[in-house]
Amino acid sequence: MSQQTARLSATQIDRDHVAYPWERRRDPAVDLVRGVAIVCMVIAHVRVWAPVDSTLVTVALLVVNNVASPLFATVMGISAGIVLTRGSHRLVGATFVARNLVRGLILIGIGVLLQQLGTFVAIVLMSLGATLVVASPLALLPVPALAATTVVTFAVGPWVNSAARAGLDPARVYSTAWVDQVLQWFVLSTHYRVVSLLPFVLAGVLLARYRLTVRTALISIGVAVIAGAAVIVLRLLGHGLGVSEVVSGGVPDALLDVALTGTALGIIVLAARSSVLQPAVTALAPVRAAGAMALTCYVLHVGLIAIAQRVGDPRAPYEHWLAYGGGILVVTVLACWAWWQVIGKGPIERVMGLVTDRIG
């Protein structure tokens, strides 16, 4: 190869890297998606204290509750895709898998510790950590193979969940034995499972590898519309929302997750990429900050819920649900924003980086 050809190739590589919106800077779209996901997660948890006395409130809470974990899983996949595509500090191969293995184990460890607080919160970190471990080698597949794997994992997920619940003792769903807890993380939990979260993580990797552009945002919304139409068809046939039991991880539930997550992600990315809406994106800096330090944000809000449950009259959060629930949401987001403005990377993210950045 001549020197001129080598220079041209290097220039082309640089241009390809610059085309990614997260090259040499944080992508506000990614932080905003992650921030919205963590805010929805907080609302989904503190809603336990709120009275539900209207159809509108019920529907709103259903949307928030259903979009939180799959949207967070999707943006976790986007983060993995960023690591695979960025020009500086890009990770590939065994190093990428090893770092995510450690990150996944740390998430599981933090989740187990949070579980010991005894709150009413169903901790998602164990399932997310295990999903990251499983998804990492799959994220290295060529794009066509990765896309096919995403579709297959989504299609077989409800069947695997159903088969596991039918074939295993129902008591294992709530057992505290370690082997049963691992089964819960993967297939048995009534809230979060690797089998259900995996396609969303893989979809996030795909979105990142396609640069998370306006076009990919529109495709995300298009997929959501198709999934939403399928939910409506199932309902007309007597299955799903309002006409039959909706089992977490079943087909109607999975399609609803795709419909809500695809719509939310697409709209947020479109807004973040729009020059007209930049003032709104700027105004959402606290939410973006919460997204930038989402793990710290998650741990903080669970800790605040634990304090609210233990300090004072246990009936108080229910009698003053707006003050308690709204207070925890506001304190969590503003505390993370203040930390981000003054110090930068969140404390838990910083510690995790000290551990994983040494690998490779």
pLDDT digits (tens, 9 = 90+) for 265-298: 999 999 999 999 999 999 999 999 999 999 999 9
351 falls within a domain: yes
pLDDT at 22: 85
Question: Given pLDDT bands bounded at 50, 70 and 90, which one contains residue 58?
Answer: confident
* pLDDT (average), residues 240-266: 91
pLDDT digits (tens, 9 = 90+) for 71-112: 999 999 999 999 998 877 677 789 999 999 999 999 999 999
| Percent of the chain whose pLDDT exceeds 70 | 94
- Taking the CB of residue 337, how many other CB atoms lie within 10 A of it? 20
324 falls within a domain: yes
pLDDT at 360: 63
15 falls within a domain: no
Angle at CA 257, nearest 5°, toward 174 and 275?
Answer: 135
Report the candidate in 156, 221, 225 with the shortest Cα–Cα distance to residue 193.
156
pLDDT digits (tens, 9 = 90+) for 314-350: 899 999 999 999 999 999 999 999 999 999 999 999 9
Quote the domain boundaries for residue 170.
Answer: 26-358
3 falls within a domain: no
Report the candidate in 123, 122, 125, 124 with the shortest Cα–Cα distance to residue 107.
125
**Which segment of 2-16, 119-133, 303-317 scores lowest on mean pLDDT?**
2-16
pLDDT digits (tens, 9 = 90+) for 107-148: 999 999 999 999 999 999 999 999 999 999 999 999 999 999
Residue 355 has pLDDT above 60, yes or no: yes
**Which segment of 158-167, 234-243, 248-257, 293-302 scores lowest on mean pLDDT?**
234-243
The stretches of the chain forming alpha helices (DSSP H) are: 3-18, 28-46, 55-85, 93-115, 125-139, 143-167, 178-183, 194-209, 214-236, 251-273, 278-283, 285-292, 294-310, 316-319, 321-342, 347-356
Q: Distance between CA 224 and CA 215 in Å, rounded?
A: 14
172 falls within a domain: yes
Q: Distance between CA 289 and CA 281 in Å, rounded?
A: 12
105 falls within a domain: yes
5 falls within a domain: no
**Ordered DSSP codes for 71-136:** HHHHHHHHHHHHHHH-STT---HHHHHHHHHHHHHHHHHHHHHHHTT--S----HHHHHHHHHHHH
4 falls within a domain: no
pLDDT at 146: 97
Question: Given pLDDT bands bounded at 50, 70 and 90, which one contains residue 241?
Answer: confident
Question: Do 76 and 203 contact (CB within 8 A), yes or no?
Answer: no
Amino acid code (one letter) for 37: A
* pLDDT (average), residues 168-188: 94
Question: Given pLDDT bands bounded at 50, 70 and 90, which one contains residue 52?
Answer: confident
pLDDT digits (tens, 9 = 90+) for 163-172: 999 999 999 9
Q: Which tokens go with 256?
A: 């609803």
Q: How many domains does the chain contain in total? A: 1
Residue 245 has pLDDT above 90, yes or no: no
Determine the straight-line distance between the first and last CA of the chain, rounded to whole angstroms: 30
pLDDT at 359: 80
Report the candidate in 248, 253, 213, 197 with the shortest Cα–Cα distance to residue 230.
253
